[in-house]
Amino acid sequence: MPIWRFTCFSLFFGVFLSSVPELTGSAELNIAVELGTIIHIDTSAHTNTKCKVCIRQDTQQLCQSSVVLRSDTLLDFSCSQPENVFTVQIIRDNGEMIYNIEPKEYNAFQKFNRTFIWNLKPPATKSCLHLNFSSTGLRQIQPTDSCPDKHVYMLAVENVSIGRFCPNGTIRQVDVRNTGKLSLEVSGGRALDKKVIGVSLGRLINSLANFHVVLPEKSSTQDFFTPVAFPENAETMWYFTVPHAYYTDVRILSYTVPTCLQPENIPTMKYTWQGKEPLVKLMNVSQPSVEPGNFNLAIKNCKISGPQPPSQGLMVHFQISAIKRSKGQCEGDLPEKQVLQIRVNKKDPKSTCVLKLDSVIMDTITIASGNHFVLNSFDCNKDEIELTVNQTIECKGWRDCASTSFPLTFNYEQQCIPGVLKTIIWLLHGPQNSAVKLQSPAEDLRYCPPEDKCNSIILLNVSHVSSGITLGQFCPKGTIQKIQIRESKIAITASVMSFNYQNLATKPFLTYSFTQDISEHYIFTVAPKMDNPTMLATPAWPSGIKASSTVSWIVNLEPQFKSNLKFRNVSQPKCKEVHTNIAVQTIRSQTTLYSTKKDEKIKDLLVPESFYLNVTNCKSPTGAFRAMMEITLQNSTNKLLGIILSIVGVVLVIVTAVGICFFLRKKKRNKAPPVSVYNPSEHAFLPGLHGIPKAQEEDEDPHTYVYIDETLVYSHLLKDDAEKEDYKEATADESDLKLDYSPLNNPALPERPVRKSENLVTKSNALIDNELYGYVQGQSTASDTPKTSEEEGNYETRLCV
């Protein structure tokens, strides 16, 4: 057993056993070296010291600044603290044997900065080695960085350093081609981490090394570096496994590109996703972002055009970020016939919201008709995105659109596009030399000056397409019924404040039509209301109207109103020839009430009826010609009185007519003529009528029917002419006999009180429209068919008094 000579303090480890004494002058240890292991002890770089390490061989002692141990050896240091001077390398050569790497500690060297090295070589040339770091995980660092736990892994392939790594990272496996070397640097005083590294044999790879990275299921950012002194035509690959619902971003933080022999072979970043074509990106452009799924990244160097310093070789420092995101996707086609263009804009560029069109990230995305699109949104709230829609409506021939009103709507078929509809722009293109007429089918429009607020859910802006001049801004719920513009191409912009864009398709708020050319440049049809004043302004307010332009307002008033026309703000230019003109003319009487003259102060006006308001600019004005007017309604007293008197007169006539009709009807009812009725009873009253019947002897009515022909009563019951003839012959002999009257025994009627308005006789002696007895000029009421003259003779009624 090796024993420190002066301290008698012993340390043991595995198959290696050594003891280290601390002396004021020297230290000595005895080390047993395992077969296949080499221990290299050397002075630290850039260390100027006289301390030596000595090896005792028999009776001689050999002292040097470094020593290589291949067998059991007794060491002696000439200084008391050799760990501050020397470093230790423990090299293990596996040869062509394939077995896992199990780091083993040397307690005697624990205070030394030590490096464990494993030389790796596959048994066959057409194979590679898989180094499995699942137990530790690696994180790549820059060549000058260190690790928190003082453990630094280094990997070299074919004498090319492919990187330095710290434990506890996302790299789970590294594939190396041909020979490789794995090193582990451990700082002095730090215990060795003895995690096992798996080694297995795999198929030959074309790249220098393959890194297999498994990203964690949390938001993370990882740094990666290309090998130092990247060889010509060499390639390095990374295989990234991305968790579900996570999206990766790639950023290049720094890079250098060598001068290639063939410039077209400049190094690039080549990305491959499963099921997609490879994506190649130059170093100086934006790299893929917010990409789902696993992917591969390959970086290949080019053939260098000559000797270059290492600082000008290929070097790329890139970063992979993975974030869990909520995804929304919209895929479709905008119909080409609608000539639509939808612009999707992210309001805040610093927002975490991400918009992608066909795998390209943009803050503003434009989708046009006739194109297939795939729009993805990530972590986007609806109010973070604004939509602007442009729709072109063109009518080339008069046959298709002459004098026909069309609603302005937006058929929003792609409901999946995220965002809030903010603006809709309709571009109306009519036939040549046509005019555009705009109307609001639901409610009239109100002029809104730029300095005022609309206080509505929508604001309309009408402008010329060619010149870009704005006609004006308009809101709903106003008094402007119609707008006519002598221009074939205009733009209507609807700015939506708080509006459900789907209502634009179901509830059009504006209609348009193309008409023949009009004489004025602009015509407004206005119907003022009593509630609020009506504001009018010349087009393009507060700017002036164009030279030689004419504007006309048709102001329609109800008969009971008159209007007070006030000129609130009028700016007159200087004209060389004909001066500007403002004229007011009544519509019904065609009377010119007002017309401005040069240098005349404009006065307010009281207009008694509907009128025209015309404004004309001169040809070459110096300055702006603009005018703002206000119309206020007030009641017309004379007309109102006439209307009231007319209504009262009509009511009196109606009341008088009703009274006369009621009087005549009552009189006619009282004077109704008597009708002959067959009555088998001695009581001459109708059943159900109140009153006491008169006695027979008291009846002084001279009209008593002694005889009634039975055909009068039963003729309508005979079915045909034969029956009628038989019946006539049977009764012919009895026609001259006098009928004995014997009253029938009818049941007694109850006594009823006599009303004041009734007498004791019946109210009427006639039965009107009775199916049995009623006749009009020999025609039965039971049949609607008129009788012939012969039939009328057969059914002649004979009354005997």
Average pLDDT, 10 consecutive residues per value, the chain (801 residues): 32 33 54 84 77 80 86 82 89 80 86 91 80 93 91 92 94 91 92 90 90 95 92 94 93 93 91 93 92 94 84 91 90 79 89 86 88 88 88 81 74 73 88 88 86 83 88 89 91 76 61 86 92 89 88 91 89 83 89 80 86 88 87 73 74 87 75 54 49 46 51 53 48 43 45 46 41 39 41 39 31
Give CA–CA dist 546/540, Å, rounded.
9
Distance (Å) of CA 63 to CA 43, 60, 66, 469 = 13, 10, 9, 98
Residue 755, pLDDT score: 46
With CA atoms as reference, report the closest residue to 398 among 446, 434, 363, 362.
434
Residue 572, pLDDT score: 85
Distance (Å) of CA 651 to CA 134, 638, 646, 647 = 104, 20, 9, 6
Give CA–CA dist 626/568, Å, rounded.
11
Query: What are the residue ranges of helices labelled H in 349-452?
Result: 398-401
With CA atoms as reference, report the closest residue to 255 among 212, 289, 285.
285
Residues 568/632, Cβ–Cβ less than 8 Å: no
Distance (Å) of CA 523 to CA 23, 135, 225, 473, 494 = 112, 83, 72, 15, 21
Question: 179 exposed, middle or buried (CB, 10 Å; 0-12, 13-18, 19+)?
Answer: middle
Give CA–CA dist 768/775, Å, rounded.
10
In Å, the largest CA–CA distance within the chain is 191
Q: What are phi and psi of 657, to 5 degrees?
A: -65, -40
Amino acid at 196: V
Residues 167/147, Cβ–Cβ less than 8 Å: yes
Residues 505/411, Cβ–Cβ less than 8 Å: yes
Strand segments (E) across 8-159: 11-13, 16-18, 27-31, 37-43, 53-57, 60-64, 66-69, 73-77, 86-93, 113-120, 127-132, 138-141, 151-157
Residue 516, pLDDT score: 82
With CA atoms as reference, report the closest residue to 410 among 399, 396, 426, 394.
426
Residue 434, pLDDT score: 86
Residues 6+ apart with CB under 8 A from 300: 233, 234, 235, 267, 268, 270
How many residues comprise the chain? Answer: 801
With CA atoms as reference, report the closest residue to 534 among 523, 525, 542.
525
With CA atoms as reference, report the closest residue to 353 among 326, 313, 372, 371.
326
Give CA–CA dist 785/801, Å, rounded.
31
Give CA–CA dist 622/753, Å, rounded.
103
Q: Are strands 209-214 and 235-241 parallel, antiparallel or unpaired?
A: parallel
Residue 167, pLDDT score: 94
Name the architecture of domain 396-635. Answer: Sandwich (2.60)
Residue 667, pLDDT score: 72
- Output the six-digit token pair for 580: 């500007």
- Output the six-digit token pair for 226: 């290309």
Query: What are the residue ranges of helices labelled H in 503-636?
Result: 503-506
3-state secondary structure 193-242: CCCCEEEEEEECCCCCEEEEEECCCCCEEEEEECCCCCCCCCEEEEEEEC
Residues 6+ apart with CB under 8 A from 196: 100, 101, 102, 135
Q: Domain limits of the chain?
A: 396-635, 640-671, 678-801
Give CA–CA dist 113/44, Å, rounded.
9
Buried b (16+ CB within 10 A) or exposed e, 106-140: bbbbbbbbbbbbbbbbbeeeeebbbbbbeebbbbb
With CA atoms as reference, report the closest residue to 586 among 614, 612, 567, 559.
612
- Output the six-digit token pair for 472: 């004006």
